[in-house]
Each structure stands twice: as C-alpha cells, then as structure tokens.
C-alpha cells in the first residue's frame, strides 16, 4: 500500500517536472524563434534603411554635382553674356561715332556741292551775259568756253536749260516772266531771257522766258442804218 502511494507520488512529481521541462523548453524555443525573427526583421529593416540612405546619398551627390555643373555653366554663360553686352556697347559707340563723323563728312560734302552748284551757275550766267554784249569775235571765244565748260559739268550731271523760240512752255523747266505780242502760237515761248540749270532731277534754277500772248482784238464797228 505504501509502495503504491509512493509510486503514485513519484509519477505525479515526474509529470510535473516533465511538464515544467517541456514548458521551459517550448518557451525557450519560442523565445529563441521570436528573438531570431525580431533580429532578422531588425537586420532586414536596417539593411533596407541603409540601402535607402545610400540611394538618397547617391541621388543627393548626383543632384549636387548637376547643380554645381549647372551653376558653373550658368556662370560661364553669364560671363559670356556680359562680355557680349560689353562688345555690343563698344560696337554701338563705334557705330554712333562713325555715323557722327559720316554726317559731318556728308554735311561738308553737301556744302561743297552747293558751293559748286552756285559757282557753276554764276559762271554760266557771266558767260551768258557776255555773249549778249561782246563783239562777234569775243562772242565766238566765249561760246567755245561755254561749250567746253558745259562738256565738263555735264559729266557731273549738270545741264543747261535753253528754251528755243516757238517751244512749248513747260512749267517744270520754264518760268514765264512776261508776255508779248507775236505771230507765233499764243502761250509758246517767244524768247529766252536767262538760262535754267538742273543737276539730274534737281532743279537749280528755271529758265526765264517771254511767251506769246493772244493779239488784242479790236471791237467791230457795227453798221448804222
């Protein structure tokens, strides 16, 4: 009887010990697995974090280098732009100076041309008056001088306007200063008083002429009854 009780008690103790051992073993296994799982998760998360940081760092360096390259390119472009603007400003100043000098040259040239036109016209006028008042021998000499001078100035574009009798009046080249009775058609030129002059299309002075006027018609005397 006592032996049986002892055996039952030993079995009960053994069962408790076995249960505790199993429980501890299982708990240890669970803890170990959980620990490994946690460690694995931490390692994976950490590695993933490291990879993301590396990517961010590479992106940062790439963008930083791109920004630096762009900054250098922008600075070079800005410097070139500044240089170009300075060159354009110098060119503009040079052109303005050149234009000013050219305007002065053109002004001086125009004054010389005007002086030449006036001098040539006055010389023609002197010879024209001389032809009217000199003797026949001097007139022939003056005409030779006139012809020679006319050949010289015609190469410069200057021409004399010398209207002839019975020529039609052209107000572009002629200026009628008087009328006189004549047997030619009324309104046509009777005689030239002074020559005209032009250079190309520029009229310097119109020829002054006298034109024919219509004869005065005397009133008819009626027959008295």
Q: What per-residue confidence (pLDDT) applies to 74?
A: 81
User: CB–CB of 161/202 below 8 Å?
Assistant: no
Which of 143-151's residues contact partners 24+ apart within 8 Å by CB, and which partners?
149/120, 149/123, 149/124
Q: What per-residue confidence (pLDDT) applies to 17?
A: 72
Q: What per-residue confidence (pLDDT) applies to 218?
A: 57
> Could you give the angle at the alpha carbon of 79 between the alpha carbons of 75 and 85, nearest 5°?
140
**What is the rounded distance in angstroms from the CA atom of residue 156 to the CA atom of residue 90?**
39
The answer, yes or no, to whether residue 133 has pLDDT greater than 70, is: no
CATH of 157-215, one of 2.30.22.10, 3.40.630.10, 1.10.20.60, 3.30.1330.10: 2.30.22.10
pLDDT in tens, 83-107: 888 888 888 888 888 888 888 888 8
Claim: this prediction has a pTM higher than 0.85: no
Q: What per-residue confidence (pLDDT) applies to 225?
A: 41
The answer, yes or no, to whether residue 12 has pLDDT greater than 70, is: no
pLDDT in tens, 164-208: 999 999 999 999 999 998 888 898 999 999 899 998 888 989 999
Q: What per-residue confidence (pLDDT) applies to 224?
A: 47
**What is the rounded distance in angstroms from the CA atom of residue 111 to the CA atom of residue 114?**
5
Confidence of residue 30 (pLDDT cuts 50, 70, 90): confident
Report which of 119, 212, 217 is spatially closest to residue 166, judged by C-alpha positions. Answer: 212
Q: What per-residue confidence (pLDDT) applies to 208?
A: 93
């Amino acid at each position: 009887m006592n032996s049986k009780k002892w055996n039952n008690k030993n079995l009960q103790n053994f069962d408790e010990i076995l249960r505790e051992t199993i429980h501890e073993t299982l708990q240890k296994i669970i803890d170990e697995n959980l620990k490994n799982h946690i460690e694995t998760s931490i390692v994976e998360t950490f590695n993933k974090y490291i990879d993301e940081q590396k990517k961010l760092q590479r992106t940062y360096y790439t963008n930083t280098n791109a920004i630096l390259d762009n900054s250098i390119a922008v600075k070079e472009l800005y410097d070139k732009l500044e240089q170009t603007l300075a060159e354009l400003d110098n060119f503009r100043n040079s052109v303005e100076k050149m234009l000013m000098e050219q305007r002065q040259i053109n002004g001086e040239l125009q004054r010389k041309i005007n002086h030449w036109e006036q001098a040539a016209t006055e010389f023609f006028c002197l010879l024209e008056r001389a032809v009217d008042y000199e003797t026949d021998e001097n007139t022939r000499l003056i005409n030779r001088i006139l012809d020679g001078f006319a050949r010289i100035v015609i190469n410069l574009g200057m021409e004399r306007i010398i209207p002839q009798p019975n020529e039609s009046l052209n107000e572009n080249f002629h200026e009628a200063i008087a009328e006189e009775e004549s047997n030619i058609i009324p309104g046509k030129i009777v005689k030239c008083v002074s020559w005209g002059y032009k250079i190309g299309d520029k009229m310097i002075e119109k020829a002054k002429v006298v034109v024919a006027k219509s004869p005065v018609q005397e009133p008819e005397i009626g027959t008295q009854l």
